[in-house]
Amino acid sequence: MAVRLFARGSDGVVCVADAASTEATFLDRVNNPFKNIDHIHFHSEFDYMSLAAKFTTQISFSARAASSTTQSVNKGKGSITIQLPEQGTQRHELGTHNLGYTPFATAVRGSASAQVTPTFELQRSGAAIRLVNVEMDSQKIYVYENWVTYTNGLAGTTQTFNCWVWRNPQ
């Protein structure tokens, strides 16, 4: 479907909308955007998200030792000793936004620009794994770490995160 750009100098209205079969229909989309929202791609009267803050932060993740917890399990006439995985979590602060509400935020890791999605795999060594996620509250943005070790440990690592915090439409 074709789209059309409209810019009116008298009041500054700018609109990108589906082209209409008649001029009157198109002007109705320009003048009544909320009524015609299913045909509007952009309208200057709509509120849009804006960038509230940007952080670049280095975080040092601690080394995590291989699991050393064992447990004896009775198995028929005898018993065996098994090694149990260990796990833990830690929250690391990326930055402060002070918006007073929980905003949308996103982050990428390092210069490779690998977006940090939920349960992003940051590090793996055999059966050991370190996952991270971006979290936010009404004041700060965090990287939340969840790690599991088993027969392998995880080396300490320092990672750079670039984070963007978006202000809600006002």
Question: Domain check: are 28 and 66 in the same one?
Answer: no
Question: Domain check: are 90 and 7 in the same one?
Answer: no
pLDDT classification of 20: cutoffs 50, 70, 90: confident
Question: Domain check: are 11 and 37 in the same one?
Answer: yes
What is the chain's mean pLDDT, rounded? 90
Question: Domain check: are 71 and 114 in the same one?
Answer: yes
Share of the chain above pLDDT 70, in %: 98
CA–CA distance, 105 with 136 (Å, rounded to integer): 7
Q: What is the pTM of this model?
A: 0.71
> Residue 80: its pLDDT value, please?
81
CA distances from 107 to 90, 112, 128 (A): 18, 12, 24
pLDDT tens for 120-154 read: 999 999 999 999 999 999 999 999 999 999 989 99
Question: Domain check: are 83 and 17 in the same one?
Answer: no
**Residue 73 lies in domain:** 50-167
Q: Which residues pair with 75 in a beta bridge?
A: 78
pLDDT tens for 64-112 read: 999 877 888 887 777 788 888 999 999 999 999 999 999 999 999 887 6
Question: Domain check: are 153 and 76 in the same one?
Answer: yes
> Residue 75: its pLDDT value, please?
74
Count of structural domains, the chain: 2
CA–CA distance, 82 with 96 (Å, rounded to integer): 44
Q: Is the pLDDT of residue 167 over 80?
A: yes
